[in-house]
Structure 1
Amino acid sequence: MAPTLVLVRHAQALHNVNYNYTLMDPVLSELGVSQCDDLSKSLLAKIPHELDVGLIVVSPMRRTIQTALLAFAPLIEKGVPIVADARWQENSAARCDTGSPLATLMTEFPQVDFSQVDPVWPDKTTAAGAAYAYNRAAILTRGQSALRDLAARPEKAIIVVSHSSFLRQGLSGRWFMNADYRIFDFEERTGGGESDEEVFILLKQWESTLAKGGLGWSKEEVVPIGHELPEGMAR
């Protein structure tokens, strides 16, 4: 049986404050740190009663890692592993959406397991980093790859801390405001074919987070997966 998936957007970071997208891999703002407390109280109240979380996955960026470490410290202290995965990074190649070198992150966040991060990190603009390019084909492909791997894991519930555009355009069609979350089950796989790559995984959201998210901070609007992503083929 596939695990339940808790998708979380990072709390407010410095580039969200004044829309300064020139900041490289920005950290959380003061408000963002405060939002992590709200996130923690809301989600931890469901554990273990509604959710039995056995793994935390993070985009390898400062704001997502900080959000996870602050909001889910009690789980990490109890031994729930926290693993970084490049597939959960944000869509664009703007400076604010481009990660820091792994050596830097490993020094700053020794609690996180970075061993599974794609060695091309943080490249998303050259041929080597084409899997992370800012185009529809690449984003939908890595979204499906990330979901496929989690669907096959043995944990009962997994928390993923990622980014708004990737969560909305690449995976769910749902809006996520800073620090808000939505809970999903793996509903079905459509498509068919001989290889897993030909199967498209869908998510079914829990009724409790369906409208405005778990914290009630997000928009209710639903968009098609892939909405407004630039066309282009992954190289």
Structure 2
Amino acid sequence: MAPNTKVILIRHGQATHNLDDDFSQPDPRLTELGKEQCVKGLRDAFADGEWGDFKDLELVVVSPLFRTLETAFLVFGKEFREGKVPFVVLPEIQETSPNPCDTGSSVESLKAGFPSLDFSNCERHDWLTKTHGFYTRDNLGVRATCARKWLFERPEKVIAVVTHSGFLRWLTPQDFPFVENRDKYRNCEYRGYTFAGTLADDGEGGPFKLVEEQWSVELRKVKRAGEPATPAVGPPDHTTEEGTSGTGSFGGDGTFDDPEQPTIVF
């Protein structure tokens, strides 16, 4: 770990499934608004100095879904193409649900769409299977801790992570219950974090605990000024009279994947 590593956590831009909560769309792409959010909302803002550590960025870590890959290239593509900032595709930070919208495409499709990227991490194990194995909902706590550990052990001092709203709530579970109800990242919202000094599980998101920086908290307050309060949301009832799943669909973008307990045991 580099001393005082800074991690910027970013949710992808608006994708087509976000328009009508259509969770049946397979691996959705960004909308035109989503692309604009990436460029004007993030890239231009970073270049203008809104995120001071942008100039020192050393690594971009990205989920292997199309909307996150598109976001990463629209925001950081210039630095990647110039050989200044490498990208690492990490399946551990993919979205949480087994819905088609949160399940990725084959490695062959990804290589065809993004030929300059290395997708070897996606070949380590079956990252597309989310009904059993490592990528099930039951393993979300372990998966998030593995991702934090991976980030903690990186030598870079400034790292950007492009991922999804549901997984972000597991990556930083120590935020619960101390933020607004279901403080979901907006499309292309970003927050800045550093690692806490302790490696032990302290009951508030450890080990490898990420702590939001105060400038990030204050910036979010400013940007959200005047917005309506986030409504309370509960998991839907998918049980029919026969006791089987009704729609077979889960909340998109990890809507109902908030950790009930923030303690993560690695």
Whether TM-score is above 0.5 comes out as yes
Q: 1:214 to 1:63 in 2, by over 3 A?
A: farther
Cα distance, 1:214–1:41 mapped onto 2, change above 3 Å: farther
Q: Does 1:227 align with 2:258?
A: yes
Paired position in structure 1 for 2:150 = 149
- The answer on 1:125 being equivalent to 2:131 is yes
Residue 27 of structure 2 corresponds to residue 25 of structure 1: yes
More strand per residue: 1 or 2? Answer: 1
CA shift digits 1:118-175 (9 cap, x unpaired): 331211113xxx211013xx11111111111111111110111000011013424353
- C-alpha spacing 1:84/1:215, structure 2 compared with 1 (3 Å): farther
Alignment gaps of 5+ in structure 2:
176-182, 231-256, 262-266
- 1:6 Cα offset (Å): 0.6
Question: Which structure is larger by alpha-carbon Rg, 1 or 2?
Answer: 2
Equivalent AA in structure 2 for residue 106 of structure 1: K
Q: Does 1:204 align with 2:211?
A: yes
- 1:44 to 2:75 alignment: no
Q: Residue 180 of structure 1 contacts residue 216 of structure 1 at CA under 8 Å; is this kept in 2? A: no
Change (3 A) 1:164 1:16: same
**RMSD over aligned Cα atoms:** 2.8
Secondary structure of the residue aligned to 2:53 is coil
Which amino acid is 1:65 matched to?
L
Q: Which of 81, 105, 108 is the equivalent residue of 1:103?
A: 108
**Moved beyond 3 Å, runs of 4+:** 44-49, 211-215, 217-221, 226-230
1:139 aligned residue:
140
Provide Cα deviations, 1:39-75, integer angstroms capped at 9, x if missing partner.
1112233499534111111100000000000111222
Is residue 208–residue 214 contact of structure 1 (8 Å, CA) maintained in 2?
no
User: Structure 1 regions of 5+ residues with no counterpart?
Assistant: 193-198, 231-235
Q: TM-score, normalised by structure 1?
A: 0.82
Per-residue displacement from partner, 1:191-228 (whole Å, max 9, x unpaired)?
36xxxxxx61211212222156399259897xxxx735
